[in-house]
Amino acid sequence: MPQSDADLRLHLLETDAHFAELHHEHHHLGDELARLQAGPYLSEEQQFREIELKKRKLRLKDQMSLIIDVYRRENSHATS
């Protein structure tokens, strides 16, 4: 079982298609958010978009964290 958090994320990226898809979408939303925030100010519409992107990113992060937790739980029982 991978030891560090970074090793575990890399392992899941390589072995879990759903985790990889969530990670890719999270990264894509981060890029979109960075482009949106690159301007000198945000219009009201852009502010709503920023909030929406942040919420979606957080949901994806929560889903990835759940997958990591389940993996750890399942693999700690398998090695016990």
The pLDDT tens digits of the residues spanning 14-49 come to: 999 999 999 999 999 999 999 999 999 999 999 999
> pTM of this prediction?
0.87
The pLDDT tens digits of the residues spanning 4-16 come to: 889 999 999 999 9
| Domain around 19 | 5-79
Q: What pLDDT is stored for residue 38 in this prediction? A: 96
The tally of domains found in the chain comes to: 1
Distance of CA 63 to the CA centre of its chain: 7
Cα 9 to Cα 74: distance, rounded to the nearest angstrom: 15
Cα 5 to Cα 34: distance, rounded to the nearest angstrom: 25
Q: What pLDDT is stored for residue 7 in this prediction? A: 93
